[in-house]
A = this chain, B = another copy of it.
Amino acid sequence: MELNPGFTGATLDRADALRANDEKLAAARADPRARLLGLNGLEPLTGGDGRLFWRPMHEAAAGNELVLLGLDGGEPRFAELRLEEADSVNRSMAVMQALARLDAADAALYGGARSVIDWHYRHLFCARCGAATALFRAGWGRKCARCNTEHFPRVDPVVIMLAEFGGRVLLGRQPMFPPKFFSALAGFVEPGESLEEAVRRELFEEAGIRTGTVRYVVSQPWPFPSSLMIGCVAEVLDEAITLDTTELQDAMWVGRADVEAALAGDAAAPFVPPPPVALAHSLLRAWLAA
């Protein structure tokens, strides 16, 4: 089954070999086919064709740092950092509706670019000594001007899981969710844990249930701001739930017919499911298909 999770399917060549090669990087910047990603803050600009909008290189302000996003059929693609906007850009997920109109490759390219750009905006200083940092490796790192420490973009792994018991799966809702909206439980992987251990800990912390076998299903990058969502199904040993009410407002076990109805948009379904762009949606589809 092809799951095609949101923000996957980028066709851009990341061109790692160019990043540390000053000569090739300069040639890419000077290439007449080179373009800048069109953005309004962190939000994507789109052209009349509904695709990402690309600006000519000369529109970058003099002295602004550029990130090499990669090569599109050999054509260099950059993003301009506007450091004066770093603190004020809109970091909401309001952009999700605009994103839904992009094709998969454009949405994935945008997602990766947004994560890297926003990482720069939030990491202009050295976490080790507090001095200012400057872009290096074509934007895939920042280096401290004082202590020379190298810093690299963050990717924060998150486990998101369907606990499974007796042919049903566990969904939960946070207080801030829209009415009837339920999704898979999730949490950040902490230092010192395997994926499987993070799944066990989260299910016990949030729902008080003990986990047996954990099975990896599917993953996706999530650019708000820079997570790696890792989707699993966890066979659990008991269906009794002890809710951590600081994390979850409610949780419930749902069966196949409920999930099918919810994914079909049936108003009589017992819950509103996560949208297709969310990994929880792919997880539910994969569970139905298994």
Contact = CB atoms under 8 A, between A and B. Distances in A.
Interface of A: 5, 7-8, 10, 14, 16-17, 87, 108-109, 111-113, 115-116, 119, 122-132, 140, 149, 151-157, 188-197, 201, 205, 216, 218-221, 223, 226, 228, 230, 244, 246
Contacts of A10: 192-193, 197
A194 B111 CA distance: 12
Contacts of A119: 191
Nearest to A193: B221
Contact of A115 (B87, B192, B230, B244): B192
Given A122-B149, A125-B127, A127-B151, 4 more contacts: A14-B190, A112-B191, A154-B156, A157-B228
Contacts of A132: 130
Given A122-B127, A125-B126, A111 B221 contact: no
Given A14-B201, A130-B130, A189 B122 contact: no
Q: Which of A7, A123, A125, A219 is packed against the most chain B CB atoms within 10 Å?
A: A219
Nearest to A192: B112
Nearest to A157: B157
Contacts of A109: 192
A111 B192 contact: yes
Nearest to A110: B192
A195 to B, nearest CB: 4
A131 B130 contact: yes
A149 to B, nearest CB: 8
Contacts of A192: 7, 10, 108-109, 111-113, 115-116, 221, 223
A172 B190 CA distance: 29
A176 B233 CA distance: 39
A188 B190 CA distance: 17
B188 A115 contact: no
Contacts of A111: 192
B125 A191 contact: no
A103 to B, nearest CB: 15
Contacts of A156: 152, 154-155
